[in-house]
Amino acid sequence: MQSRSPTPAPDDEPRPRVTRTTTFFVVLALASAGGLAWRDGGGELRAALADAAVLLLLVSPVIGAALLLGGYVRALLPHDRVARWLGPGSGWRGYALAMLGGIVTPAGPFAVFPILVALRQAGAGFAVCVVYVTAWATLGAQRVMIWELPFLGFDFVLLRLVASLPLPILAGLLAAAVARRVTR
Amino acid sequence: MSFLIAFAFVAGLTALLAVIAGRRTPGAHREAGVAARGYFRSIAPRLPFALVAAECLGRLLPPEVVTAWIGAGTGPLGVLIASGVGAALPGGPMLAFPLAIALLRAGAGPEALVALITAWSLVAVNRTLLFELPLLGSRFTAWRLAVCAPLPIVAGMAAGALMGLGLAH
């Protein structure tokens, strides 16, 4: 069905693109730092770099712990089992399972898209697939822990999660309305 | 302070999962360690640069423009603009979240930020082009995006309503 690489790269790019993405960040950092120094002077750039260093020190422990958490979620939750649960899902039970599955699926496109392919092949409808991928994108627990919590804090995370809770079901209902046009 | 709470929360959850995984699957600790190392290796070299970029971009953004367009109190129009910005935002979470803090500091309203993050998470240009389009086909991708189009606005408005109710902030 799908193969799991022994050393997963969880980010938004496949392994060979890692260096190119790093280059992108280096160039972006240099360009924005250069722009800031040119417009506001070296003092402002030094203040920005100091703020970035403090932020790095503060978020690193949280990101580190969340990465390990992601490792355990991966160890506890093999892809193929998620695909089996969500199979040709029926009605509200399928929606609920798809939503739950999306929330616990690890961050990064490496898990979610192979599962979606497997779901389609297993006969899952468009609506269930949309519920699953919407729950993963808007409520995915791992991304919340690695990125959102350390950077934006509990209050904001809580506000966004509560506001986003109905989104997967809403998307599923809209998807069900157009599902017949999507099936090939 | 909020970093301490966040760390305690995530570390506690990790410890809990580690105990469960250790009991249920032999070799779970090794597998988790290998996975975490893989994540770390792809994040560690870029994170410092992403943070510097976001910090400098945030300072380059004129605060009066940010507050005028997506500031607190800009309401539905701010949510709509933020949704558009989020949908167009390239890159993964490493850029999006540091940039979100920079916007917050420059005066963006929380409800607009909710819309921005929701739009980014649903559209994510690179991810869609690299993974969804080739794996699931253009028909699936196009209809999925069409169905998800109203969601950032719904989330932003819901966040605004929750704040109005005094349930947050």
DSSP code of B25?
S
Tokens of B166: 């005094």
Residue B13, CB-side half-sphere exposure with 13 Å CA sphere = 20
A13–B17 CB contact, under 8 Å: no
pLDDT band with cut points at 50, 70 and 90 for residue A68: confident
Q: What are A120-146's pLDDT values in tens digits?
A: 877 788 999 999 999 999 999 988 988
pLDDT band with cut points at 50, 70 and 90 for residue A85: low
d(CA A26, CA A112): 28
B35–A107 CB contact, under 8 Å: no
Q: What are B86-120's pLDDT values in tens digits?
A: 998 877 888 888 888 888 888 899 999 999 999 99
User: What's the pLDDT score for residue A173?
Assistant: 93
- In this complex, the residue of B38, B100, B168 whose CB is nearest that of residue A10 is B38
B25–A75 CB contact, under 8 Å: yes
Residue B132 has pLDDT above 70, yes or no: yes
User: What's the pLDDT score for residue A6?
Assistant: 41
Q: Which of A154-163, B26-35, B62-71 is the most confident on average?
A: A154-163
- In this complex, the residue of A28, A63, A130 whose CB is nearest that of residue B53 is A28
CB contact B35 to A (< 8 Å): yes
Q: Which of residues 67-86 of B touch A (CB under 8 A)?
A: none
Residue A35 has pLDDT above 90, yes or no: yes
pLDDT, averaged across chain B: 88
Q: Which of A41-45, B14-18, B146-150, B162-166 is the most confident on average?
A: B146-150
Domain positions in chain B: 1-45, 63-164
d(CA B19, CA B21): 6
- In this complex, the residue of A36, A67, A109 whose CB is nearest that of residue B60 is A36
Residues above pLDDT 90, as percent of chain A: 31
pLDDT band with cut points at 50, 70 and 90 for residue B167: low
Name the amino acid, one letter, at B10. Answer: V
Chosen from A1, A69, A162 to mutate, greatest number of chain B CBs within 10 A? A69
d(CA B149, CA B67): 24
A:B CB pairs within 8 Å = 280
A162–B52 CB contact, under 8 Å: no
For chain A, how far is it from start to end, CA to CA, in angstroms?
Answer: 21
Only one residue has tokens 């300072």, namely B59
Cβ atoms of A134 and A167 closer than 8 Å:
yes
Residue B35 has pLDDT above 70, yes or no: yes
d(CA B37, CA B157): 39
Which chain A residues touch B148 with a CB distance below 8 Å?
130, 134, 171
Residue A60 has pLDDT above 90, yes or no: no
Q: What are A3-33's pLDDT values in tens digits?
A: 444 444 444 444 444 567 788 889 989 999 9
User: What's the pLDDT score for residue B135?
Assistant: 85
Name the amino acid, one letter, at A148. Answer: E
Residue A2 has pLDDT above 70, yes or no: no
Average of pLDDT values for A82-110? Answer: 76
User: What's the pLDDT score for residue A78?
Assistant: 63
Residue A90 has pLDDT above 80, yes or no: no
